Amino acid sequence: MPDLATPSKTIEILKKHNFSFQKKYGQNFLIDRHILEKIVTAAEISKSDCVLEIGPGIGTMTQYLAEHAGKVIAVEIDKCLIPILEETLTGYDNVIIKNQDILRIDILNLVKEYNNSKPVKVVANLPYYITTPIIMALFEQHIPLETITLMVQKEVAERIKTGPGSKEYGALSLAVQYYAKPEIIAVVPPACFIPKPAVSSAVLHLKKHPAPTVNVTDEDFLFKIIRAAFNQRRKTLANALTNADNLKLTRKEITDTLKKMNLNESIRGEALSLAEFAVLSNQLMLKNIDNID
């Protein structure tokens, strides 16, 4: 049974290897077995799965993953952690350790090499500074994957999960919900980590939609509209889109389209659902193309 998930074992291994925490890598190691079990259960990992773990640290979660999965690919940026991982993962012949930056590695190629391009399950206790870039990279690069189960800042999990009308609702909520169904599995207090982070965390589970849930003519244009709407979230949607440098739309074209959709012309972006953004972007895309020509 894996046994690293206690304060004493974690401190023992860190001392043995004279390890110094690197703040720039967001190193907060999990020391709570219940949370590890919740993550593995939420990710529904079985022996037929290949798991991509981002940031294994000293291998605490990696051991749990290796026990349950067929294969684990663990990508760790900090070279000082590699000898520790080699020690803590001795005895697991189903773990591949890569000393690389997840934001620079070719993930598509990694999945091709180790899982024949079949869907993987991504599991990570993420450094907070890469939460948004990594989630978006996984979806936008169309990495073959089924689910993403992540430890993130509680506030970020709430932002991703929320819908129209809430003040947390924004471009990140819409981008993630376009690709997946988010669920918050557990709230995790700072005391579950060494060292303790300044804020609470949450386990977020994202189940990728098998097919898009909204009909979108041009994904890039949809995201341009969404970003423009929330870049100036205190302005009306019509003003925010008219002011956007990368869109070529007149205020009248936008308000006419809103009227056609039975939406008030003074509505703000934060009131629109993903389905409404999809309809709006499909209609405005044609006008934008006409205005460029």
> How near is the Cβ of 170 to ligand SAM at its closest, in Å?
24
Q: How far is the CB of 70 from ligand SAM (least distance, A)?
A: 20
- Residue 72, token pair as written in the block: 């684990």
Q: How far is the CB of 40 from ligand SAM (least distance, A)?
A: 12
Q: How far apart are CA 179 and CA 165, in angstroms?
A: 20
Residue nearest to ligand SAM (CB): 55
Between the alpha carbon of residue 41 and those of residues 46, 56, 68, 92, the distances in Å are 10, 18, 10, 20
Least separation in angstroms between CB 271 and ligand SAM: 35
Alpha-carbon distance of 43 to 37, in angstroms, equals 10
Sheet with 120-125: list strands edge to edge. Answer: 95-98, 71-75, 50-54, 120-125, 145-153, 201-208, 180-188
Q: How far is the CB of 212 from ligand SAM (least distance, A)?
A: 29
| Strand 29-30, strand 193-194: pairing | antiparallel
For position 101 contacting ligand SAM by CB under 6 A, the verdict is yes
The encoded tokens of residue 165 equal 């009308």
Shorter beta-carbon distance to ligand SAM: residue 78 or 253: 78
**One character per residue 12-51, x = contact with ligand SAM (rule: CB under 6 A):** -------------xxxxxx---------------------
**Residue 243, SS3 per DSSP:** helix
User: How open is the CA angle 44-45-49, to the nearest 5 degrees?
Assistant: 130
- Give the per-residue contact string, 73-92, with ligand SAM (x = CB under 6 A; - = no): --xxxx--x-----------
| Given 13, 51, 61, 254, the residue binding ligand SAM (CB under 6 A) | 61
Q: How far is CA 270 from CA 156, 225, 229, in A?
A: 17, 12, 8
Which pairing describes strands 193-194 and 50-54: parallel, antiparallel, or unpaired? unpaired
Contacting ligand SAM (CB under 6 A), which of 50, 52, 55, 110? 55
Rank residues 78 and 276 by Cβ distance to ligand SAM and give the closer one.
Answer: 78
Cβ(66)–Cβ(94) below 8 Å: yes
Stretch that binds ligand SAM, among 69-77, 171-179, 180-188, 214-222 (CB under 6 A): 69-77
Candidates 100-108, 112-120, 175-183, 235-243; binding stretch for ligand SAM (CB under 6 A): 100-108
When the beta carbons of 76 and 253 are compared against ligand SAM, the nearer one is 76
- Both tokens assigned to 267: 């509505």
Residue from the set 2, 13, 49, 57 that interacts with ligand SAM by CB under 6 A: 57
Compute the least distance from the CB of residue 182 to ligand SAM, in Å.
20
Our finding on whether 130 is near ligand SAM (CB under 6 A) is: yes
Q: Which is nearer to ligand SAM, 193 or 223 (CB)?
A: 193
Q: Please, is 127 exposed, middle or buried when counting C-beta atoms within 10 Å of its C-beta (0-12, 13-18, 19+)?
A: buried
Per CB under 6 A, residues contacting ligand SAM are 25-30, 54-57, 60-61, 75-78, 81, 101-103, 125, 127, 130
